[in-house]
Amino acid sequence: MFATLDAVLADAAAHLTRAARDRKSPMHVPVVGTGDGDLRMMVLRACDPEIGLLRFHTDARSAKTATIAADGMASVLAFDPDAKIQLRLRGPARIETTGPVADAAWTAASEYARRCYLAVGAPGSPTDQPRSGLPEEVEGIRPSEEQLLPARENFAVLLIEPTSLDWLYLAHDGHRRAQFARSGAGQDWQGTWVIP
């Protein structure tokens, strides 16, 4: 089925680009890890066809933003059980709160998605009862653009530029695995077959 490294790389790219635009894709919400070993599931918002840049949205006040600022690396784990494909990626990461990428992502997000950044405290802040952290006036509603204005300062994008990619295909007749690396963004991927 996957006879060449080019076919494998194309498969990985197809899975990730589909995952970024199709919420029904099993890879739409991969696991993202930071240098401190913390893991969380995040919605993949964008992936270019060369797997050069992955974009996620996050709260600028979250602990992971400080971790990424200090360490500058992140990893991603995605799995498609029907295709039996696992992807592991790792590379330099950064948080952007301003600039064209963050501004475009903010503008393109729905009102409901942007509403999350109205939370009165940072993610992980203690609370005396189960609650969303949203102000009462926006709980359960689609907020207006005016109501969303204060949320913009809490919005950030997490950008990961993968420099390593591990592709694993689980097959009854024998698993297949390939690894790819590149020296930096914009460079060509170099791959090799490895024993699964």
* pLDDT computed for residue 88 by the predictor: 98
Residues 79-119: pLDDT tens digits? 999 999 999 999 999 999 999 999 999 999 999 999 999 99
CA-closest candidate to residue 49, choices 88, 83, 86, 18: 18
b/e for 121-159, b at 16 or more Cβ within 10 A?
Answer: eebeeeeeeeeeebeeebeeeebeeebbeebbebbbbbb
For 97-163, strand residue ranges (E) read 155-160
Collapse the DSSP code of 51 into the 3-class scheme (helix H, G, I; strand E, B; otherwise coil) and give the result: coil
Q: Which residues have a Cβ under 8 Å from the Cβ of 46 and sit 6 or more positions away?
A: 20, 53, 54, 55
Burial class (CB in 10 A: 0-12, 13-18, 19+), 89: buried
Q: Please tell me the total number of residues recorded for the chain in this structure.
A: 196
In angstroms, rounded to a whole number, what is the distance separating the alpha carbons of residues 111 and 98?
Answer: 19
User: How many Cβ atoms sit within 10 Å of the Cβ of residue 3?
Assistant: 8
Note the pLDDT of residue 184.
Answer: 83
Structure tokens at 180: 């790819």
The runs of H, that is alpha helices, within 5-93 are: 5-21, 63-71
Reported as a single tens digit per residue, the pLDDT across 15-24 is 999 999 999 9
Pick out the chain residues at pLDDT < 50: none
The confidence score (pLDDT) of residue 74 equals 98
45 secondary structure, DSSP code = -
CA–CA gap between residue 37 and residue 111 (Å, rounded): 32
The structural domains of the chain, ordered by start, are 5-113+154-194 (2.30.110.10)
Nearest residue to 62 via CA among 143, 128, 140, 124:
124
